[in-house]
Amino acid sequence: MIIEMIENATVAQIGHVIQRVEAMGFSARPSRGANRTVIGVVGGAGEEDLAPLAGLDGVEQIAPLSRAFKLVHREFRADPTVISLGDFAIGGPEFVVMAGPCAVESEEQILETAREVKSGGARVLRGGAFKPRTSPYSFMGLGEEGLRIMRMAGEDTGLKVITEVMAPEQVPLVCRYADILQIGTRNMQNYALLEAVGKVRVPVMLKRGMMSTIEELLLAAEYILANGNSQVILCERGIRTFETATRNTCDISAVAVIKSQSHLPVVVDPSHAAGVRAYVPALSRAALAAGADGIIVEVHPRPEEAMSDGAQSLTPDGFRELMDQLRAMAGAMGRHVVA
């Protein structure tokens, strides 16, 4: 259920409603928009339970939420969520580019990549220190040493750092090094992990499960918000279909669907969707055209030597070319890409 307050309801009116909701044994989650506050009621409240609150000062209406996801839904918060990361933000007018290798392999590799992507216009450096691999015999990442290298490269270049966290017990460690926590496709429904990242105050990028519906993605994000962290970015990274020409199928329609249903920012990962370097620019341009708030793209200084995902990694030159294309397009979409 949601309680919509009148425009410019006072702090006292809002506080009183929250007090009454909590006195009934439910949780109140206020969301303050530019003019209007909406209070989400969590904990199984029905229409009859909340009916006595309809007459309180400042209450405009009490309405059931039409879906199982409450906090992530636009009905709960009309204004888009904008995640501020210092001198830029994800979810605002800027189309934000996150770039870097699949995995942290060495200090030299990360520093070289960070400088290249920074000069091309990336805002965030990506790179996995804990790698979820399909085979237990594949390279699993450098662990904490990899996190240290990412942080150092972030400080060197001024880039923010995004890196994957795979287990609840890793969350405090990864939070010490990362500006954004990444939850990978294989962990989208790892509920203990979702709860753990919900309890910290570091932004989270949640990747869509490779066999998950958009609704399941939104419900997974709901876990993070319900645990108190509202700084969530959703990521479409391709889903499994019968098509074999690409590694996954980039579900570009997910961008439009998520934008219409949720206030959370959406980015596209064209690299894991395509699996093939040659298709990455087209999918990146499609992301911008569809209304995504950014992309996360794999770049390696020597893709042929990459320890993972070399076939889908752009070279630094390829990355710069892509950035020029995105810059040329952005204006038509009312966006901009940093120079």
Could you list the residues that contact Mn ion (CB under 5 A)?
102, 309
Q: How many residues does the chain have?
A: 339
179 or 269: CB nearest ligand PEP: 269
Q: How far is CA 89 from the centre of its chain?
A: 12
The DSSP-derived string for 87-114 is S-EESSSB-EEEEE-SB---HHHHHHHH
Q: Does residue number 209 form part of the binding site for ligand PEP (CB under 6 A)? A: no
Give the residue at shortest CB distance from Mn ion: 102
State the Cα–Cα distance between residues 278 and 276, nearest whole angstrom: 6
- C-alpha gyration radius of the chain: 21
User: What DSSP state is assigned to residue 239?
Assistant: B
Size of residue set near ligand PEP by CB under 6 A: 9
User: What DSSP state is assigned to residue 41?
Assistant: E
Residues pairing with 31 in the sheet: 38
185 or 229: CB nearest ligand PEP: 185
State the Cα–Cα distance between residues 83 and 88, nearest whole angstrom: 9
Closest separation between CB of residue 46 and ligand PEP, Å? Answer: 38
- Return the amino acid letter for 292: A
Q: Does residue number 284 form part of the binding site for ligand PEP (CB under 6 A)? A: no
Nearest to 3 by CA among 52, 34, 12: 52
Closest separation between CB of residue 256 and ligand PEP, Å? Answer: 20
41 or 102: CB nearest Mn ion: 102
Half-sphere exposure of 314 (CA within 13 A, CB side): 30
Closest separation between CB of residue 181 and ligand PEP, Å? Answer: 12
State the Cα–Cα distance between residues 175 and 165, nearest whole angstrom: 9
Closest separation between CB of residue 184 and ligand PEP, Å? Answer: 3
Q: Does residue number 270 form part of the binding site for ligand PEP (CB under 6 A)? A: no
Give the residue at shortest CB distance from ligand PEP: 184
Q: Does residue number 301 form part of the binding site for ligand PEP (CB under 6 A)? A: no
Contact map string, positions 158 to 177, toward ligand PEP, x by CB under 6 A: --------------------
**Candidate list 160, 207, 277, 335; residue touching ligand PEP; CB under 6 A:** 207
262 or 312: CB nearest Mn ion: 312
